[in-house]
Amino acid sequence: MFESILIANRGAVAARIVRACKALGVRSICIYSEADAASPFLKDADEAHEIGPGPAPQSYLDQEKVLALAERVGARAIHPGYGFLSENADFAEKVIARGLAFVGPAPRFIRAMGHKTRARDLAAEHGLPVAPGTQLVSESLDDLLAAARSIGYPLMVKPAGGGGGIGMLPVHDESQLAAAVERSRSMAQRGFANAEIYLEKLMRTPRHIEFQVVGDRAGNVRHVFERDCSAQRRNQKIIEEAVAPGVPRAVIEALGEKIATVLTEIGYDNIGTVEMLMDADGTFSFLEMNTRLQVEHGVTEEVTGIDLVVSQIRLAAGEPIDAVLPVPPQVSGHAVQARVYAEDPKRFLPSPGTLQVFRPPSGVRVETGYGEGCKISTFYDPLVAKVIAHGATREEATARLSAALDGFVIEGVKTNIPALQSILRSQAFRDGLVHTGLVAEVMAA
């Protein structure tokens, strides 16, 4: 096991990794920007070092600063968390080149899966179903129109280098195509410094179902079941659950096994998530693979009892999968997570500010990097806390989550809690009839 891990992240995920380090007896080394100096979990870490001003490019995204600090404090490994540098293959290579371990897969997997059309090709080559889509489209309007006609409308314009829903734009007919492509390119260039885009068939009301996978350094991969993350606003998840309601377990088991087999063939060597879309007729297609820990990993932990972060670190340190997961994973009950964001509950506009009162509910799991008096700045994403409830049934877990959100007292910023409650209490959600258009439907009602 590593003697120490530098956590190259902030907020809820940094706090989560500090806990995992404690469980493993590993020295935890946090970094923080000037804007995050008051984060309460920094006191729980063995060390905490300021790394720069608030804007992420000058702190959490400054690779040289992170690497120089890691060397100076004698860190043996770097955990990138999610977001920031977690899916940056160049960074992972630099970490390894300096003699440190990267808590994540080998850089070649990050690079292959980070490019969405290459990832689609790879999935298709290994026999996973892939939604109809194009290769990268050129700047020529004629080529673009021809590419669009080859898959048909409606379609989605997607950045090849991206993630997080950024730059993904729906197009319903030919008249909207050119403008959407231009806008997507611009957002992609700005967000990921890569203006490459491709087109993918847009399903009307798909479900987003993703598989958690766990692999060791020898490339042995297993799946740890699925999560349903269909409740999204602006292509970003807000409510996630394990397992997916209403999908036959045999279907899930077979697809999970297939995914694990494909990733074993490829030699994938740490934790990751394979995101699939399920169409209204039950057909699955590969969407993308995230080569890191997910924001929603907690719901899988709640139903399986597996500590995914501890497992990830042990696997990165070279332990075999049979040692990390000695018994076949099993599902017990149901878990639902809600992401509490600092934003207006009606229009989802950002609402930064100071947490004048911050009293998380008890009796459920709450993951946060904040405490009372902390400032939610404009520099980072609006996540304030993740609230995760477990129950014997989906109904029980949902009721517990809803009750917990009622008891979550936050003053000083607006939050999306009223919107989360509307969704959790909607008939469609309670009936398990989730799909990616559900949030918009509930909010419009």
Partner 1 sequence: MSRQEIKSEITGTVWKILTQPGQDVAEGDTLMILESMKMEIPVIVEDGGVVSQITVAEGEAIQEGQVVAIVET
Peptide linkage before 243 cis (omega within 30 of 0): yes
Stretch of 11-19, 25-33, 376-384, 391-399 contacting partner 1, by CB under 8 A: 376-384
Least separation in angstroms between residue 86's CB and partner 1 is: 15
Least separation in angstroms between residue 350's CB and partner 1 is: 4
Stretch of 149-157, 294-302, 317-325, 374-382 contacting partner 1, by CB under 8 A: 374-382
CB 364 within 8 A of CB 408: no
Burial label for 44, CB within 10 Å (0-12, 13-18, 19+), is middle
Least separation in angstroms between residue 415's CB and partner 1 is: 13
- Of 1 and 61, the one with the shorter C-beta distance to partner 1 is 61
From 227, 292, 339, 400, the catalytic residue: 292
Burial label for 355, CB within 10 Å (0-12, 13-18, 19+), is buried
- Of 351 and 426, the one with the shorter C-beta distance to partner 1 is 351
Burial label for 34, CB within 10 Å (0-12, 13-18, 19+), is middle
Least separation in angstroms between residue 347's CB and partner 1 is: 8
Query: Does residue 187 bind partner 1 (CB under 8 A)?
Result: yes
Among the listed residues 32, 60, 380, 408, the single contact to partner 1 using CB under 8 A: 380
Query: Does residue 53 bind partner 1 (CB under 8 A)?
Result: no
Q: Is-catalytic flag, 118?
A: no
Q: Is the dihedral of CA 147, 153, 158, 160 positive or negative?
A: negative
Q: Which residues lie across from 31 on neighbouring strands?
A: 49
Q: Which residue has the tokens 């600090």?
A: 69
Least separation in angstroms between residue 258's CB and partner 1 is: 34
Give the β-pairing of 236-242 and 47-52: unpaired
With both helix axes pointing from N to C terminus, report the angle between 11-24 and 308-316 in degrees, rounded to the nearest 10.
Answer: 70
Could you count the other beta carbons within 10 Å of the beta carbon of residue 160? 22
Count the residues of the shown chain that bind partner 1, applying the rule CB under 8 A: 14
Burial label for 219, CB within 10 Å (0-12, 13-18, 19+), is middle
Subset of 333-352 contacting partner 1 (CB under 8 A): 342-343, 347, 349-352
Least separation in angstroms between residue 414's CB and partner 1 is: 10
CB 101 within 8 A of CB 126: no
Nearest Cα to Cα of residue 92 among 77, 102, 82, 81: 102
- Of 43 and 347, the one with the shorter C-beta distance to partner 1 is 347
Query: Does residue 382 bind partner 1 (CB under 8 A)?
Result: yes
Q: Is the dihedral of CA 45, 53, 309, 99 positive or negative?
A: negative
Q: Which residues lie across from 50 on neighbouring strands?
A: 32
Q: Over the range 225-261, which residues count as b (16 or more CB within 10 Å of their CB) and which as e? A: bbbbbbbbbebbbbbbbbbbbebeeeebeebbebbbe
Among the listed residues 129, 219, 245, 353, the single contact to partner 1 using CB under 8 A: 353
- Of 225 and 380, the one with the shorter C-beta distance to partner 1 is 380
3-state secondary structure 256-309: HHHHHHHHHHHCCCCCEEEEEEECCCCCEEEEEEECCCCCCHHHHHHHHCCCHH
Least separation in angstroms between residue 352's CB and partner 1 is: 5
Among the listed residues 381, 422, 432, 443, the single contact to partner 1 using CB under 8 A: 381
**Side-chain-facing half-sphere of 140: CA atoms under 13 Å:** 4
Least separation in angstroms between residue 164's CB and partner 1 is: 8
Q: Which residues lie across from 386 on neighbouring strands?
A: 339, 367
3-class DSSP state for residue 11? helix
- Of 205 and 236, the one with the shorter C-beta distance to partner 1 is 236
- Of 236 and 261, the one with the shorter C-beta distance to partner 1 is 236
Least separation in angstroms between residue 412's CB and partner 1 is: 13
- Residue 20 Ramachandran class (φ > 0 left, ψ -120 to 50 alpha, else beta): alpha
Query: Does residue 163 bind partner 1 (CB under 8 A)?
Result: no
Show Cβ contacts of residue 190 under 8 Å, excluding neighbours closer than 6 positions: none
Query: Does residue 369 bind partner 1 (CB under 8 A)?
Result: no
Write out the residues near partner 1 by the rule CB under 8 A. Answer: 187, 342-343, 347, 349-353, 378-382
Which residues are known catalytic residues?
292
